[in-house]
Structure 1
């Protein structure tokens, strides 16, 4: 029987997200189970859906936790970067993905039904991360070219993501690429240099 009166709704939401994030990090998205999360915290699965509305709501809350962690780590790395902040940001991308492989890939594996917009709280978390990247790209461009930063940042994120994903799944090893991080950093430098002209 679930512990229905042990926690406030806010406490329960935090408990569920923490347990769900831990389970996702261990099992990966393909093996993620809301029922397992409920079991871990001693509540019924109905309680999870009562708090988050649906499986999608639960996954958005858990992935939101990953985005928060990622934003914190990226911001910290940028604060510590002595020089080339874009290079530091790319390193942070790779490091976060490697250290949080299952949670990171779940950001991309989970999809809302087609035509369903992201809820504002989640869109804000995504925008916070991309905003950091856009700011760094803009800072790397001359003032006359800074209007290009948002479009360029999206393309650079796709480039870095592709390099990182290929590194994680072994594709780059098959292709003979021994240093995917350095390759991603080189492609970003080239793109920024071209955009600066």
Structure 2
């Protein structure tokens, strides 16, 4: 089981930390990371970079949608994955940790797809040249979808992704409530440890 910590979850209207902060933030930046929106409020107490939410304390994030990165003219959003575990990953091809973790995210996505239980769902940020992000996806054999959201406009309503810390990964349970937040590069094992627990919750 997870090493769960009780965290404050409440309604709020403040949006994520300033976009002006530099890319690929260190754990030092994560100490003050706060993202608030919808019905979910996220804090990183003591600068922790892996935070876990017990089932009884989870609240749903707000829905969001935006342009599909790879399919211009089409939209994609959280509602497209109703009833599924969703591994949200805020990334940019300019970010070294994002480049390092992409293979792990792909492996996690493949297991979720094989199990029929969920998906990885990317939020591509600060890539103002769409073609560069698209090339990154193709070159790395990425099959999971991403919203194209350079200014973090569409995902701002989500509340659970600090825009000042890239990469960030938020794992949502089948009701789209945050079960875990990682303010650092993740491995497939980080992700799958959480998603397997969520699969067990759903089957209990």
Q: TM-score range by the shorter chain?
A: under 0.3
Q: TM-score, normalised by structure 1?
A: 0.23
Between 1 and 2, higher relative CO (CA 8 Å, sep ≥ 6) is seen in 2
Q: Which has the larger radius of gyration?
A: 1
More strand, by proportion: 2
TM-score between the two structures when normalised by the length of structure 2? 0.22
Instruction: Please state which structure has a larger fraction of its residues in helix.
Output: 1
